[in-house]
Amino acid sequence: MAGKAIPVTDELTQYLVAHSNPPRSDVHERLIAHTAQVMGDRATMQVSPEQGPWLTFMVGLIGATQAVEGGTFTGYSALCTAEGLGVQGRLRCFDVNAEWVDIGRPYWAEAGVADRIEVTIGPAATGLDGLPAAEEIDFAFIDADKTGYARYYEQLLPRMRPGGLIVADNTLWSARVLDEDDHDDDTVAIRAYNDMVTADDRVDALLVNVGDGLMLARKR
């Protein structure tokens, strides 16, 4: 039986974003534009337009107040996550490039969420190891180096509360996961990560076609 999925064109993406609540604000638009201006081709590292409202909605849906992000880039995903957390929320971000993160800081402040975001510059693995073992995490977003995904997952899962959600970006990898002749390290790592999470009986897993693919793992 053929699936009912339809191709996600640019026009359809714009429609999705326009009919998402909360919509992207002027602050969001300007951060996206600033990133495109100064980062050039690297701007593709930013989460996709439809993923921003999705993050805000999902964080609010599960009632998250404690969140972690591995791989912040210029801060659009952090902005959206922090907005979903609410005024008492806290987002800990780990990234290796302070210059990139600094692009987003003025926009966090303008959106009124800067006080919810704490950034540590350095490898995500080191930062995650340093998290308080006794403090439970509600929501985690993984968007750093792809070969590190499995390690980050194993670092995070014991710290997640029951019902907490780990979301990994780029898990469809521009559909390269389907190309059996693609043995690039990142492609192989993404395939392995998807297989690992799907087989893990500690979580409920769901791979969704949002942006470049999001693998959801809800701790049982």
The model's pLDDT over 113-130, given as tens digits with 9 standing for 90+, comes to 999 999 999 999 999 999
**Above 60 in pLDDT, residue 23?**
no
Mean pLDDT of 164-192: 97
CB-side exposure of 15: number of CA atoms within 13 Å? Answer: 5
**Above 90 in pLDDT, residue 177?**
yes
Are 89 and 116 within 8 A, CB to CB? yes
pTM > 0.85: yes or no: yes
* Distance from the first to the final alpha carbon of the chain: 32
The model's pLDDT over 50-62, given as tens digits with 9 standing for 90+, comes to 899 999 999 999 9
Judged by DSSP in three states, 133 sits in coil
User: H-helix or E-strand containing 54?
Assistant: helix 51-61
Phi, psi of 41 (to 5 degrees): -65, -25
Phi, psi of 23 (to 5 degrees): -75, 165
* Look-up of token digits 């929501």: 139
**Above 90 in pLDDT, residue 96?**
yes
**Above 70 in pLDDT, residue 24?**
no
**Above 70 in pLDDT, residue 2?**
no
Q: Residue 119: what pLDDT?
A: 98
Are 116 and 83 within 8 A, CB to CB? no
For the chain, the structural domain boundaries read 47-219
Are 120 and 127 within 8 A, CB to CB? yes
* Look-up of token digits 């439970």: 136
CATH architecture of 47-219: 3-Layer(aba) Sandwich (3.40)
**Above 80 in pLDDT, residue 1?**
no
